[in-house]
Chain A
Amino acid sequence: MDYFLTDSQKIIKRLAKKISDEVISKVAGKYDKEGIFPRDILDLLAYTELTGVYIPKEYGGFGGGVLEMCLVVEELSRNCAGIAVSYAATALGAYPIMLYGTENQKKKYLPKIAKGEAIAAFALTEADAGSDVSSIKTVAEKDGDFYILNGNKHWITNGGEADIYVVFAVTDKSKGPRGISAFIVEKGYEGFYCGKKEDKMGIRASSTTELIFENCKVPKENLLGREGTGFIIAMKTFDRTRPGVAAMAIGIAQGAYEHALRYAKERIQFGQPLTSFQAIQHMLADMYINIEAARALLYSTCRMIDSGAKDYTKESSACKVFASDVAMKITIDAVQIMGGNGYVKDYPVEKMMRDAKVTQIFEGANQIQRNIIASEIVKEL
């Protein structure tokens, strides 16, 4: 389908596809098996200037928007979502600074992220605060020119690898969600440690770790926005980055579909290729329909956000839910079409099936997304 991308968007997609097909496809299996963080691929993305596609020109980026970021994530995910998420998680860490940072904060951090000299991360989730964001326990107490952070964060993508972390902590316990604040924490700050690395089902090339704050001293100028605006910062950031999860899911689905289609054309059973059997034809047709539908919803949402719309919470959630459910279904079907070969690690679809699962879970589980969408549509009545 022709999505009428601009010339520069087509270039971004072509460049990301080239990297994905010529480099990522060759290392995806090894990085997944051995849990290798894709530092070399991120360096290549930096060299090719794809690290800055979504960052404004005045801060050293290309000046694109959410759609440009999604085009990169989608193409990288066609071959390895684990590698793609290491790129996407930097965007998740960069957006709060782009949206709520002071001029000094933007000038200090965004050019480094745009040039790929710094990797970013977003640290909100805790062991007892996943979907229930407002119950985070990490605290930040003001002490002169510093905030002192104490607490633990869990399941933080790019944990240990990132140079810049946007960390959420409670500054006023009595105010509930309005008592949460966001801080920029740099790797190497006193009292900031990286904890256990998770042994995950999928996206194994990415680093997911615990973060530990023990009397971590954060300069007061690293407060993002005002005290108490952390919850809003997190939610507004997610509105812009959930399309990134949708893009990852669509990339995974597209990759699985391409492998299954090629396999079905080549695999001969009962003297005919699998594609001659209607049972398989319908599965492939459904894959195509769902991928295009998910992509159309994603690109429309991105264009809505990039054109300056004020409220796009339900659209952002909808594309994330739809695309991730599509990715899960399609990767399961791809394994089914490929049978025994789909189930073994010689072919990449079993990895894609494992990778797809997380898109239904992170950046807000799909159940929470449906709550958000329902709340928005009921409110609009």
Chain B
Amino acid sequence: MNILVCVKQIVDPDKIEYNSTTKTIKRSSQHLMNNPADLNALEFALRLKDIFPDSRVYTLSMGSLECKEKVKELIELGVDEAILLSDKRLAGSDASATSYALSCAIETLERFDLILCGDHSLDGETSIVPPQIAEYLGICHIASVVDIKPKDKDTLEIVKKVENILAKFEVKLPMLLSVKKDSNFVRFPKLSFMIRALSYEPKVLSLDDLRDIDVKRIGLEGSKTAVDDFEKEKMESISCKIYEQGSISEIECIAEVILKFI
């Protein structure tokens, strides 16, 4: 089974800063991290490889060359090959342009039986890249996946979660699934994989390596959406009040506080 996982290198949400001129996120290498939901997707891919050891797990990321160090962390988890699509012409791509560029890269690479993505990135929150990639590739897509188990090499049993409903599907490959954050426990690295990552160089693709890509559809120019302005949400300051146990009036106070939130 050939499995591809799309992994985005995002800026740590606690340290996020915006460039007010370009209306884009400042991407400093020291605050980069792999998007958590994408790591949950990767964990499912690695579990399939545990069951079918002859499977190969690839990752595809898009970003500046500064992302390489974070991409190498995927090798530490057991990924066979990590690919980074990096080209200055991609800068400023919105979700649509990103989906288009990624789908062109996927078509250039090998044939994949399964493509996995996290269902959203913590820095973009659009959640539309996975379905758009599936659309460009002409394959089926299921979102909000929380469990993936193989029935055989061509069929998966998956569970998707919507609110408090768990829906079970049996799907035939090829397929694109987007996985909910925290749907599994992401494994620890292995020492031997970490040693491999030390000298591993991710395969870097530029736009010139991609077949049939229309460069007018990527980057800031090729994006269909543009951010008008950023404004930091004003958070109400939270104060802590300690109530002693036992008094009716204090219990009433607590009830009052709870009622405010209902």
Do they bind each other?
A: yes
Question: A272: CB under 8 A from chain B?
Answer: no
Q: Smallest distance from the beta carbon of A58 to chain B beta carbons, Å?
A: 16
B195: A residues at CB distance < 8 A: 8, 11
Q: Tell me whether A19 and B188 are in contact (CB under 8 A).
A: yes
- Segment at the B interface, from A47-55, A219-227, A309-317: A47-55
How many A residues, CB 8 Å from partner?
15
Question: B13: CB under 8 A from chain A?
Answer: no
B187: A residues at CB distance < 8 A: 47
Name the residue of chain A whose CB is nearest to the CB of B197: A11
Q: Smallest distance from the beta carbon of A40 to chain B beta carbons, Å?
A: 12
Q: Smallest distance from the beta carbon of B1 to chain A beta carbons, Å?
A: 22
Q: Tell me whether B191 and A53 are in contact (CB under 8 A).
A: yes
Q: Smallest distance from the beta carbon of A110 to chain B beta carbons, Å?
A: 17
Q: In whole angstroms, how far apart are the Cα atoms of A62 and B189 in the complex?
A: 15
Question: A15: CB under 8 A from chain B?
Answer: yes
Q: Tell me whether A48 and B191 are in contact (CB under 8 A).
A: yes
A-contacting residues, B108-130, CB 8 Å? none
Q: Smallest distance from the beta carbon of B185 to chain A beta carbons, Å?
A: 11
Q: Tell me whether B198 and A11 are in contact (CB under 8 A).
A: yes
Question: B224: CB under 8 A from chain A?
Answer: no
Q: Tell me whether A44 and B198 are in contact (CB under 8 A).
A: no
Q: Smallest distance from the beta carbon of B111 to chain A beta carbons, Å?
A: 32
B-contacting residues, A77-127, CB 8 Å? none
Q: In whole angstroms, how far apart are the Cα atoms of A47 and B190 in the complex?
A: 7
Q: Smallest distance from the beta carbon of B122 to chain A beta carbons, Å?
A: 19
Question: A7: CB under 8 A from chain B?
Answer: yes
A50: B residues at CB distance < 8 A: 191
Q: In whole angstroms, how far apart are the Cα atoms of A48 and B189 in the complex?
A: 6
Name the residue of chain A whose CB is nearest to the CB of B191: A49
Q: Smallest distance from the beta carbon of A23 to chain B beta carbons, Å?
A: 8
Q: In whole angstroms, how far apart are the Cα atoms of A47 and B187 in the complex?
A: 10
Question: A12: CB under 8 A from chain B?
Answer: yes
Known A7-B198, A11-B198: A44·B188 in contact at CB below 8 Å: yes
Q: Which 10 A-B pairs have the closest CB atoms?
A: A49-B191, A11-B194, A48-B188, A49-B190, A48-B190, A7-B198, A49-B192, A48-B191, A8-B195, A15-B189
Give the interface of A toward B (CB within 8 A). 7-8, 11-12, 14-15, 18-19, 44, 47-50, 53, 62
Q: Smallest distance from the beta carbon of A89 to chain B beta carbons, Å?
A: 21
B192: A residues at CB distance < 8 A: 49
Interchain Cβ contacts under 8 Å between A and B, 14 examples: A7-B198, A8-B198, A11-B194, A11-B195, A11-B198, A12-B191, A15-B188, A15-B191, A18-B189, A47-B190, A48-B188, A48-B190, A49-B191, A53-B191
How many B residues, CB 8 Å from partner?
9
A-contacting residues, B191-249, CB 8 Å? 191-192, 194-195, 198
Q: In whole angstroms, how far apart are the Cα atoms of A11 and B189 in the complex?
A: 10
Q: In whole angstroms, how far apart are the Cα atoms of A49 and B198 in the complex?
A: 16
Q: Tell me whether B191 and A11 are in contact (CB under 8 A).
A: yes
Q: Tell me whether A18 and B191 are in contact (CB under 8 A).
A: no
B191: A residues at CB distance < 8 A: 11-12, 15, 48-50, 53, 62
A-contacting residues, B155-193, CB 8 Å? 187-192
Q: In whole angstroms, how far apart are the Cα atoms of A330 and B191 in the complex?
A: 32
A53: B residues at CB distance < 8 A: 191
Q: In whole angstroms, how far apart are the Cα atoms of A152 and B202 in the complex?
A: 57
Known A7-B198, A8-B195, A11-B198: A18·B188 in contact at CB below 8 Å: yes
Name the residue of chain B whose CB is nearest to the CB of A64: B191
Name the residue of chain B whose CB is nearest to the CB of A51: B191
B198: A residues at CB distance < 8 A: 7-8, 11
Q: In whole angstroms, how far apart are the Cα atoms of A20 and B218 in the complex?
A: 43
Q: In whole angstroms, how far apart are the Cα atoms of A48 and B195 in the complex?
A: 12
Q: In whole angstroms, how far apart are the Cα atoms of A15 and B187 in the complex?
A: 12
Q: Smallest distance from the beta carbon of B218 to chain A beta carbons, Å?
A: 36
B189: A residues at CB distance < 8 A: 15, 18, 48
Q: Smallest distance from the beta carbon of A241 to chain B beta carbons, Å?
A: 21
Q: Known A-B contacts: A7-B198, A11-B195, A14-B194. Give 20 more (CB < 8 A).
A: A8-B198, A11-B194, A11-B198, A12-B191, A15-B188, A15-B189, A15-B191, A19-B188, A44-B188, A47-B188, A47-B190, A48-B188, A48-B189, A48-B190, A48-B191, A49-B190, A49-B191, A49-B192, A53-B191, A62-B191
Name the residue of chain B whose CB is nearest to the CB of A49: B191
Q: In whole angstroms, how far apart are the Cα atoms of A8 and B192 in the complex?
A: 10
A18: B residues at CB distance < 8 A: 188-189
| Cβ contact of B194, chosen from A15, A19, A44, A47, cutoff 8 A | A15
Q: In whole angstroms, how far apart are the Cα atoms of A15 and B191 in the complex?
A: 8
B194: A residues at CB distance < 8 A: 11, 14-15
Q: Smallest distance from the beta carbon of B169 to chain A beta carbons, Å?
A: 30
Q: In whole angstroms, how far apart are the Cα atoms of A48 and B194 in the complex?
A: 10
Q: Smallest distance from the beta carbon of A51 to chain B beta carbons, Å?
A: 10
Q: In whole angstroms, how far apart are the Cα atoms of A14 and B188 in the complex?
A: 12
A62: B residues at CB distance < 8 A: 191
Q: Smallest distance from the beta carbon of A117 to chain B beta carbons, Å?
A: 16
Q: Smallest distance from the beta carbon of B147 to chain A beta carbons, Å?
A: 21
Q: In whole angstroms, how far apart are the Cα atoms of A47 and B185 in the complex?
A: 14
Q: Smallest distance from the beta carbon of A186 to chain B beta carbons, Å?
A: 27
A-contacting residues, B80-139, CB 8 Å? none
B188: A residues at CB distance < 8 A: 15, 18-19, 44, 47-48
A7: B residues at CB distance < 8 A: 198
Name the residue of chain B whose CB is nearest to the CB of A8: B195
Q: In whole angstroms, how far apart are the Cα atoms of A53 and B195 in the complex?
A: 12
Name the residue of chain B whose CB is nearest to the CB of A19: B188
B190: A residues at CB distance < 8 A: 47-49
